[in-house]
Amino acid sequence: MILHIASFRWNDTVTDDDVTGLTTALEEMAAGIPEIRSYAAGPNLHLRPGGADYGVAAIVDDAAGLDAYLDHPAHLAVYEAFLGRMIGERSAVQLPIDEGAFR
């Protein structure tokens, strides 16, 4: 299995309404992509100093599942509607995980 983590810093023009709309769109998107086993997205809680403004974590079975998720028309639509205009900086990482890693 693969854990895909993406983090974002927003442009200065991003509003709370933008973030709320993005979160709703991402949750709806994830529900419609069968390759996604687990999904979480939302604004950073900022419990520690620094860090990104927003994060996404998705678990998929394999590289083909990751490609299916990231290249899915619903994912591309969320990028077009929200992320493309919101992102100041983006970072991502994919980690191999064992099926029992998250209990």
pLDDT in tens for each of the 103 residues of the chain? 999 999 999 999 999 999 999 999 999 999 999 999 999 999 999 999 999 999 999 999 999 999 999 999 999 999 999 999 999 999 999 999 987 766 5
Q: In the 8-state DSSP scheme, what is residue 47?
A: -
Task: Give me the residue label for tokens 């599942």.
Answer: 65
Separation of alpha carbons 36 and 88, rounded Å: 26
CA–CA distance, 94 with 103 (Å, rounded to integer):
19
What CATH architecture does domain 2-96 belong to? 2-Layer Sandwich (3.30)
Read off the amino acid at residue 17.
D
Cα–Cα distance, 86 to 81 (Å, whole number): 10
Polymer length of the chain: 103
The pLDDT value recorded for residue 103 is 56
Any idea where the domains of the chain sit in the sequence? 2-96
54 secondary structure, DSSP code: E
